[in-house]
Amino acid sequence: MHSSFPARRMRRLRAHDAVRSLVSEHHLAARDLIYPIFILPGTGQREAVPSMPGVERRSLDIWLQEIETLLALGITIIAPFPVTPAELKTDCASEAFNPQGLIQTAVREIKQRFPQMVIMTDVALDPFTSHGQDGLINHAGYVMNDESVAVLQKQALSHAQAGADIVAPSDMMDGRVGAIREVLEAQGFTNTCIMAYSAKYASAYYGPFRDAVGSAGNIKGGNKKTYQMDPANSNEAIHEIAMDIDEGADMVMVKPGMPYLDIVRRCKQELNVPTFAYQVSGEYAMHQAAFANGWLNEEAVILESLLAFKRAGADGILTYFAPQAARLLQQLG
């Protein structure tokens, strides 16, 4: 005999706010967020980034004033990126490991004033090369692997010496995680974490970031396909991630974010390691464009977009929305 009611009413658990939250499977919190910031040289400087509405490049003194607010919002991890003046960019990227460089100085000053703020630095050469590639190039314009890794080691060490808590190689050279781990161990930085940008794709979604740090116009060769991954591949991402873990990475990252949630999922499911995703500049820009046009509800969509990462298996998310999302979460209680 057929019952006169549905065998199972899924809507029962959706009828009340409190019951919905009782059975909700994933949660987003400010502590899940890592906030990427762009640092300008000098003092008293702030500039809008046209392709990233709401994002500003700011000099260190202005960021230092901002950090208290970030901490009050529950944002305890920042990822600073330098805006390097053209005259400091060279073919050998030596500014990358200058102990008095913008990032090294920022790390020292921020850690001195706010030791509780965790700092994750980007290890890659693109802000410092005149040609905009993440490594050193040969006469044919090819990015040389081992020569680049040697510079990345120096760069990572200079960040650790300045006080960085986490170094994050985003360059995609082979063997860089192992090489960085080796130099950190040898120099006594046994507690410096490595967050490896392991599955970093050769993506067109990075355009606005390259505007922000001023590396856009000059990428010699036009793209980074000889080292960043082919968007067609998924098994290769698992291979990359497994190798980085093996070489000594503590945490791994998938990048970009939303278009690559399948990779986040596979990473978490197959390797069970601390997994992060980067909601990159192009994703941020797309959202802002829709918000500005009134096409999407800003507050609801920001939180939904970030919760999606948690559901896919990410432990945390790098996002330019971090302060706004934290404020929204605070309002929701």
Identity of the amino acid at 214? G
Residue 165 in contact with ligand PBG, rule: CB under 6 A: no
> Which residue lies nearer to ligand PBG by CB, 27 or 225?
225
| Residue closest to 320 by CA, chosen among 274, 294, 282 | 282
CA 30 to mean position of chain CA atoms: 15
DSSP for 223-281, written as a single string: --TTTSBPTT-SHHHHHHHHHHHHHT-SEEEEESSGGGHHHHHHHHHHH---EEEEE-H
> Which residue lies nearer to ligand PBG by CB, 16 or 225?
225
CA dist 122 and 15 (Å) reads 45
Q: Contact at 8 Å (CB) between 40 and 59?
A: yes
Residue 247 in contact with ligand PBG, rule: CB under 6 A: no
Residue linked to tokens 């949630």: 261
Q: Shortest approach of ligand PBG to residue 281 CB, angstroms? A: 3
Contacts of residue 64, defined as CB under 8 A and 6 or more positions apart, other chains included, come to: 109, 110, 113
Q: Shortest approach of ligand PBG to residue 329 CB, angstroms? A: 22
Question: Length of the chain, please?
Answer: 333
| Residue closest to 315 by CA, chosen among 15, 120, 7, 31 | 31
> Which residue lies nearer to ligand PBG by CB, 54 or 114?
54
CA of 285: how far to CAs of 70, 187, 193, in Å?
22, 40, 30
CA 116 to mean position of chain CA atoms: 20
> Which residue lies nearer to ligand PBG by CB, 168 or 245?
168
Contact region for ligand PBG (CB under 6 A) — 19-27, 91-99, 143-151, 206-214? 206-214
Among 108, 210, 265, 327, binds ligand PBG (CB under 6 A): 210
Q: Shortest approach of ligand PBG to residue 18 CB, angstroms? A: 37
Helical pair 102-113 and 60-72, crossing angle rounded to 10 deg: 40
Among 34, 245, 267, 280, binds ligand PBG (CB under 6 A): 280
Among 97, 189, 201, 206, binds ligand PBG (CB under 6 A): 206
Using CB under 6 A as the binding criterion, the count of chain residues that bind ligand PBG stands at 11
Residue 122 in contact with ligand PBG, rule: CB under 6 A: yes
Supply 142's token pair: 């090819």
Q: Shortest approach of ligand PBG to residue 47 CB, angstroms? A: 17
Residue 307, helix vs strand vs coil = helix
Task: Report 34-93 residues binding ligand PBG (CB under 6 A).
Answer: none
Contact region for ligand PBG (CB under 6 A) — 13-21, 90-98, 204-212, 264-272? 204-212
Active site residues: 200, 255
Residue 240 in contact with ligand PBG, rule: CB under 6 A: no
DSSP 8-state code for residue 18: H
Other CB atoms within 10 Å distance of the CB of residue 323: 20
Residue 170 in contact with ligand PBG, rule: CB under 6 A: yes
> Which residue lies nearer to ligand PBG by CB, 192 or 281?
281
Q: Shortest approach of ligand PBG to residue 170 CB, angstroms? A: 4
Among 158, 281, 305, 319, binds ligand PBG (CB under 6 A): 281
Task: Report 302-331 residues binding ligand PBG (CB under 6 A).
Answer: none
Q: Shortest approach of ligand PBG to residue 137 CB, angstroms? A: 15
Q: Is 298 annotated as a binding residue?
A: no
Supply 204's token pair: 């067109």
CA dihedral 296, 302, 303, 307 (to 10 degrees): 110
Binding site for ligand PBG (CB under 6 A): 122, 124, 126, 134, 170-171, 206, 209-210, 280-281
- Which residues contribute to the annotated binding site for Mg(2+)? 240
* Binding residue numbers: 240
